[in-house]
Amino acid sequence: MNPTLRAGLWMIGAIGSFTSMAVAGRQISFALDTFEIMLFRSLLGIIIVVTVAGFAGTLNQIDTRDLRLHGMRNLAHFTGQNLWFFAVASIPLAQVFALEFTTPIWVLLLSPLLLGERITQAGVIAAIMGFVGILIVTRPGTIPLTPGLAAAAACAIFFALTAIFTRRLTQRHSITCILFYLTVMQAVFGIVCAGWDMDIAMPNAATLPWLVVIGCAGLLAHFCLTNALSLATATIVMPMDFARLPTIAIIGALIYSEPLDPWLFLGAAFIIAGNYINLRRKAAA
């Protein structure tokens, strides 16, 4: 089979996984807060990572180097993921995904500060287009800035920090090691944040299946995305990921009667165009 076609099939899996996680997060928000969702997701993740690594024989790749960097990476991801789960429960799902797509723009802007990388003229154009897209999606002064909208915008910044720290970790550590500390550290964060009031809601028959979906879909999405990137370049793979937006918009309309807002799609077009310029810049470098 053609490698590009195989990459496309992996991206269908990634899009399905990201979409499933958003729907599951919305469905479970009535019973568990975001800290509790992250706690149980991380506990399930530990079981999955250790089991898979045990079968693959990669448990010996887990070491104790760079624990501070692991901690910063996982604190950023924990914060971003909590904001994301809050957003999917509060605003239209398509809005969440559109603002989440600004993550690469934030990576572009933060990399000079944290990695010493130089921002180019094409990078500036990409960033400007991304922020024009944000303004169109949020329309400040026209629609109220709700906590859910602010959370969706902020989660992209923390996901960008996660990506930057992950880039540094992958230079010295295997995927097994990174995922192990991801799940373990975030389980600790979840226990502390969910249990500060000594009242952690436990899963029941109604919430447990959705937690399993969240735990499995989160890991599966990144597994599918990684495999797609191993078969085709980012300039081919990442535009496929933008299919998440119309997919989640249709699902939101069908399941939750969310409106198909033309302003959202116009803003998303600017954000996606900025991302594509950034991808072409990297490919040409």
CA-angle at 70, arms to 64 and 75, nearest 5°: 145
Q: What percent of the chain has pLDDT over 70?
A: 98
3-state SS, residue 30: coil
From 58, 273, 238, 52, select the one nearest 163 (Cα to Cα): 238
- Give mean pLDDT, residues 167-182: 88
Name the one residue in this structure whose structure tokens are 């954000």. 271
In this prediction the pTM is 0.90
Residues 244-263 have pLDDT tens digits of 889 999 999 999 999 988 99
If you average pLDDT over every residue of the chain, what do you get? Answer: 89
Assess contact for 103 and 164: CB atoms under 8 A. Answer: no
Name the one residue in this structure whose structure tokens are 């079981």. 47
- Give mean pLDDT, residues 79-105: 93
List C-alpha distances in Å: 13 to 64, 143, 212, 223. 33, 34, 17, 9
Q: Is the pLDDT of residue 217 over 80?
A: yes
What's phi and psi for 236, nearest 5 deg? -95, -45
Residues 2-27 have pLDDT tens digits of 788 898 899 999 999 999 999 999 99
